[in-house]
Amino acid sequence: MYPPFYYPVYPVKGDTMSKSINQKLKLIYLLHFLEQYTDENHALSTQELIQKLEDAGIGAERKSIYDDMQRLVDYGYDILQSKSKDKNGYYLASRDFELAELKLLVDAVQSSKFITRKKSRELISKLEKLVSVHQAKELQRTVYVADRVKTMNESIYYTIDAIHRAMNENNRISFQYSEWGTDKKLHLRKNGERYEVSPYQLIWNDSNYYLVAFDEGSGALRHYRVDKMSSVVQLASPREGGEQFHDFNPAVYSGKTFGMFGGQETKVTIWFDKILIGVVMDRFGSDVDLRVYEDGSFYIITTIQISPQFFGWIAGFGNRAKILSPQPVARDYGLFLQEILELYE
């Protein structure tokens, strides 16, 4: 298979112009053959390269192949010559991406919730072109991630692009925002009324993209699921609230929220059984303020956006976790648990 620009021009007897045009493309085709068909385990012999060039309407001799390979090496391509009793040949020894790196990218694309199945196939197909046809077979992987339902929103890529442009040009945006209904369809919030915010940060959390923006109406930071945003328009007015983002840390912001549900920011103290140290480190990181008791249990002091999702996270640990302070938050957590119990009485 040849590049998109390839239109074979087979020279006829006496057709020196066509032959001359094709000869000028010789080095480009040789490089393409090496990129597509060779790797450290697969080489193309000089005769195979001559045959492929002939198929493209380009004449070549063995000595010219040697010279062409040296030109490509001089330019900077890592082309090596394999010599074995079975076969001698040339191969491209290194590329921009290693095979292991591309496998990680393929896994990320497949497991990402915000990328549609159609777009996943398109992206992986493009990644396969960065290696030989032989290695591409190893990228055709199947990755299963629990509860990772692919989005159906194909326009998310254009939404992300529009947000990036607005941030780069320091402009506000307006958009419509949707929420799921019991009919399993997205419905516009506020009867389709447009939101107007100053976009500052995109965060990938739990395989979803979120926009963190300054809302002029409330004078506070808000975040929005990008796949629920639509009709994004860049406004002519400059962004506001830049001072809110001087010390903004996406990791810290994500750590304060649970399931990216917002709430009142509050400094809380939480006790944990010692067996939960790994869970706490995974959630809050090694910089969290942590104090250890003599029995190995510990408590942390951190800032949380208080929400039902936070209470649900604590409840999942049963009697191995307890909110120590402040008392209003501990009281609200108790009411949260009580309301759940009432459903089963």
Whether 186 is covered by a domain: the verdict is yes
Which pLDDT belongs to residue 155? 79
What are the φ/ψ torsions at residue 262 (nearest 5 degrees)? -80, 170
pLDDT score for 254: 64
Cis peptide before 326 (omega within 30 of 0): yes
Which parts of the chain register pLDDT below 50?
Answer: 1-2, 4-14, 16-17, 145-148, 260
Written as one string, the DSSP assignment of 28-56 is: HHHHHHHHHH-BTTB-B-HHHHHHHHHHT
Asked, for residue 11, whether it belongs to a domain, the answer is no
Neighbours of 218 (CB within 10 A): 8
CATH of the domain at 238: 2.30.30
Contact 314, 321 (CB under 8 A): yes
| 3 inside domain | no
Instruction: Give the pair of three-digit tokens for residue 136.
Output: 């591409």
pTM: 0.56
Give the pLDDT score at 153. 65
Question: Residue type at 154?
Answer: E
Q: Helix or strand or coil: residue 219?
A: coil
Q: Is residue 297 part of a domain?
A: yes
Segment 225-239, tens digit of pLDDT: 888 899 999 999 999
d(CA 275, CA 272): 8
Query: What confidence score (pLDDT) does residue 262 get?
Result: 62
* CATH code of residue 87: 1.10.10.10
pLDDT at 50: 94
Instruction: Tell me, yes or no, whether 266 and 338 share the same domain.
Output: yes
Q: Which amino acid is at 109?
A: V
The whole domain housing 125 covers: 99-139
Residue 147 pLDDT: 45
pLDDT score for 191: 92
